[in-house]
Structure 1
Amino acid sequence: MNGKSALGALLVVVGGLMVLKFLGISLGWIISLLMPFILIGLGVVGVRNNSKTVGYILIVVGAFMLLPKIAGFVTLIVAIAVILWGISMFSRQKRY
């Protein structure tokens, strides 16, 4: 893809997002979910291309951006583990 094609594709995407925003459809939550993964990916590419300082900074920033988004999932996993632990304590209890 040459420079003019890339610029054209970028303009189409930006224009499409503007039209969706005008229609009341917001994709901000998708962008906010993808941005940490994009930063982590760019950091990995930077580390592989011998730009280690910038690469590790991008990886750390992306990881910190991702933490609040996965906090609900981690809480769910902890809750399931606590429930299973409690059930296992009931099943180990001997009945006389």
Structure 2
Amino acid sequence: MNGKNALGAVLVVFGGLMVMKFLGIHLGWIVGLLMPFILIGLGVVGVRNDSKVIGSILIVVGGLMLLPKLFGLFSLLLAIVLIVWGVAMFKGKRI
């Protein structure tokens, strides 16, 4: 994909999001979820193309943006581990 096609695709996506917002369909949560992954991906591309400082910064910023969104998943995994550990203690088995 050359630069002209990429710019056209970006303009179509932004225009579509603007029309959907006008119609009352809000997709801000999807953009908020995708943005950290986009930054991490751009950081990886930057590191591979010998721009290690900027790529590393983008990876760190994307990771920090992703942490609050994954907090619910981390909490669920912690709860499952605690339940399994408690049940194992009742049964007297070692994990």
Q: TM-score, normalization: structure 1?
A: 0.88
Counterpart of 2:25 in 1: which secondary structure? coil
Counterpart of 1:26 in 2: which secondary structure? coil
The Cα of 1:3 is off from its aligned counterpart by 4.2
Counterpart of 1:50 in 2: which secondary structure? coil
Kindly provide the CA deviation profile for residues 9-58 of structure 1, in whole angstroms up to 9, marking residues without a partner as x.
Answer: 22222221111001111111000001001101111111111100001000
**Residue identity opposite 1:33 in structure 2:** L
Partner of 1:58: 58
Q: Distance in 1 between matches of 2:91 and 2:3?
A: 66
Pick closer, same or farther for the CA change 1:42–1:6 going to 2, 3 Å.
closer
Pick closer, same or farther for the CA change 1:28–1:7 going to 2, 3 Å.
same
Ranges in structure 2 where 5+ consecutive residues have no aligned partner: none
Pick closer, same or farther for the CA change 1:19–1:70 going to 2, 3 Å.
same
Q: Which has the larger Rg?
A: 1
Partner of 2:38: 38
Q: TM-score, normalization: structure 2?
A: 0.89
Pick closer, same or farther for the CA change 1:90–1:72 going to 2, 3 Å.
same
Pick closer, same or farther for the CA change 1:71–1:85 going to 2, 3 Å.
same
Counterpart of 1:57 in 2: which secondary structure? helix
The Cα of 1:71 is off from its aligned counterpart by 0.5
Pick closer, same or farther for the CA change 1:31–1:75 going to 2, 3 Å.
same
CA RMSD of aligned residues (A): 1.5
Partner of 1:48: 48
Ranges in structure 1 where 5+ consecutive residues have no aligned partner: none
**Residue identity opposite 2:12 in structure 1:** V
Counterpart of 1:73 in 2: which secondary structure? helix
Q: Distance in 2 between matches of 1:78 and 1:6?
A: 42
